[in-house]
Amino acid sequence: MNPPLVPRDRKALAAWLSPPLLGMVHLPPLPGSPLYGGDPDQALTRALADVQALVEAGFAGVVVENYGDTPFSAGDLPPVTIASMAAVVARLRQRWPDLRLVVNGLRNDAVAALSIAVAAGADGIRVNVHTGAMLTDQGLITGRADRTLRLRRELDSPAWILADLRVKHAAPLAPRPLVDEALDLRERGLADAILLTGSGTGRPAEFDQARELRAAMPDTPLLVASGVTAKTAAQWAALVDGAIVGSELMHGGHAGAGVDPRRARALMDAWMEAPASSEAGS
């Protein structure tokens, strides 16, 4: 299948992901990482259990990331991490052929994520810094949209590129208008969807920013990607095209703690029961 020549629009997102929620699969520490516990089967066992809970709660897609590999590297992922993630994602694809699978290689290895997606049959990648540069806890991270898009073309991949705007746990090097940054992601970085987050893991994004982006970019897929809760789901459902949810789904509301089936179901119910709103558009 030939990759798209232009970024996808909101109708394409609606056709690709329904219901429009992606649940996070936070892998435990993988081989080679500082906190790795020595059990090579732990990541797959956890991932299978988490995805099963998400699927039973009604989720049609997940984002798999090496969340337990802290402290993260600002550069390329080690080969053992890539191999470990590919093995997990391939098993998830085998178990759930129709599930939307997205890969995120923390902190910002889009080439590794895309390579994993192609090899294991995933549908997309998340990129924390796709364009521009951000000052993070790993130091300065610079986007390489050129490299990611050229590799997608070379591999003839239809993988979606979900790109963070002002990614959490980071700060821009110089102030710029939010919409200008978003337009660069979309028009120059060719991101398929823009992700709006808060300042850190589990911290809420801002409703006003979502409204500003929607007004300026009416055809661009916009997802909220941190801080969504069952209490705020209806508000977000009226503003954006979808959400990536992590902490709210986990045991005790703690990132990395594994998916709690009851919390996952409560979040899904709250999102799906939200009344239709003109703000979200068609």
Q: Check whether 278 has a pLDDT greater than 60.
A: no
- Pick from 139, 66, 71: nearest CA to 109: 66
Q: What is the 8-class DSSP label of residue 182?
A: H
pLDDT band, residue 241 (cuts 50/70/90): very high
Q: How confident is the model at residue 6 (pLDDT cuts 50, 70, 90)?
A: confident
pLDDT at 199: 84
Rounded Cα–Cα distance for residues 31 and 25 (Å): 17
Mean per-residue pLDDT for 163-172?
93
Name the residue type at position 31: P
Q: Which domains does the chain have, with CATH numbers?
A: 10-272 (3.20.20.70)
Q: What is the pLDDT of residue 202?
A: 82
Average pLDDT over residues 16-41: 97
pLDDT score for 3: 60
Average pLDDT over residues 202-220: 95
Confidence of residue 5 (pLDDT cuts 50, 70, 90): low
- Label residue 219 exposed, middle or buried (CB < 10 Å: 0-12, 13-18, 19+): exposed
pLDDT(277) > 50:
no
pLDDT > 90 fraction of the chain, expressed in percent and rounded: 89
Q: Taking 90 as the threshold, does the pLDDT of residue 276 lie above it?
A: no
Give 80-113 pLDDT, tens digit per residue.
999 999 999 999 999 999 999 999 999 999 999 9
Percent of the chain residues past pLDDT 70, beyond the cut: 96
- pLDDT of 2 strictly over 90: no
Contacts (Cβ under 8 Å, ≥6 apart) of 175: none
pLDDT per position as a tens digit, 106-132: 999 999 999 999 999 999 999 999 999
Say what the pTM is.
Answer: 0.94
Contact by Cβ (8 Å): 95, 102:
no
